[in-house]
Amino acid sequence: MPKRPYDLPSMSSLVAFEAAARHVSFKEAARELNVTPAAVSHQVKSLEEELGSALFQRHHRGVDLTETGAYLFVALQRGFETMNDAVGQLKLRSTHASVTIGVTTAVSSLWLTPKLAQFWKSHGDISVAQIVSDTGETPPQCDLSIHYGDISRDTGTCSVLFHDHVLALGSPRFAARNPVARVEELAKLPLIHIELSGTGWLNWNDWLAALGYSGPIRSAHRVNNYVIALQAAQDDMGAVLGWSGLTKDYIDTGRLVPLLPDRVETPEDFYVKLHPRAGARARLVYDWLTEANA
């Protein structure tokens, strides 16, 4: 598998450990992260195995940090506080950005941010801020917004960015341990369910039904963030639905692999909308995004 940057354990395991250490409770950490206590326990155990040291003392009434766990917790807090300060500064700067784009967490991290990195190479004088939200509502101050839906139902200036298809993905280890040849077999595996209300994204029931399967399916893990779902899949926790336009880098680098050759075309498109308040610089960003995907 490709080596992770900075020679660090997976971020999902570090985040799970930090939450569990801060609350001194797997249950409270799970509530904060919107996962099950078992998922938190799995992440912490994976981290302990990688470090070769116990981070918690477990007993029937709960858990306590070990000396090693306390040391790691303090280090992580310092790192997260530094990141928090940086994000805070960026949020302050975003109010002065020349162009603002409304986007979801998944599209921001998996598609738009890499695109903007390319944009800034030739347009470094244009400040672009992303307003990230998964509520389905576009903040009024946005010049542009990226949506998944039926573009014909929208009004104003809009352009399709990409039409996608969805396939079942898993880590290479998960695929090796759970070989399947039919969707009926896949439905029996641990499945990572993504609960994103108002997005219109396909879920496992939709995907399997499109392939002619309407029987029972297994529900192993539920999260409300697509990036976390992809990380859980990388950590061998189950199969995840992979939107090809968003997971291309995961597939190209081998972090996730198709479990079946079957693919389901998405009924709608990802598209960008130019809002009436947008100025010339926003129009330039809009044109660049549409031309880059033509």
* List of domains in the chain: 5-90 (1.10.10.10), 99-161+269-292 (3.40.190.10), 163-268 (3.40.190.10)
Reply yes or no on whether the pLDDT at 250 is more than 70. yes
> Token digits for 73?
């917790």
- 182-226 pLDDT per residue, tens: 999 999 999 999 876 656 788 899 999 999 999 999 877 888 888
Q: Among residues 210, 222, 216, which one has the least CA distance to residue 185?
A: 216
Look at residue 155 in the predicted model and tell me its pLDDT: 86
Look at residue 4 in the predicted model and tell me its pLDDT: 54
- 130-178 pLDDT per residue, tens: 988 877 777 778 899 999 888 988 888 999 998 889 999 999 999 999 9
Look at residue 88 in the predicted model and tell me its pLDDT: 77
Look at residue 122 in the predicted model and tell me its pLDDT: 84
Look at residue 92 in the predicted model and tell me its pLDDT: 62
Specify the higher pLDDT residue, 5 or 115: 115
Inter-residue contact 113 to 101 (CB < 8 Å): no
Look at residue 292 in the predicted model and tell me its pLDDT: 76
- 64-74 pLDDT per residue, tens: 999 999 999 99
How far is Cα 232 from Cα 227, in angstroms, rounded to an integer?
9
Q: Among residues 280, 250, 50, 266, which one has the least CA distance to residue 151?
A: 266
- Ranking 23-37, 47-61, 195-209, 217-231 by mean pLDDT, the lowest is 195-209
Inter-residue contact 184 to 213 (CB < 8 Å): yes
Look at residue 222 in the predicted model and tell me its pLDDT: 85
How far is Cα 232 from Cα 225, in angstroms, rounded to an integer?
11
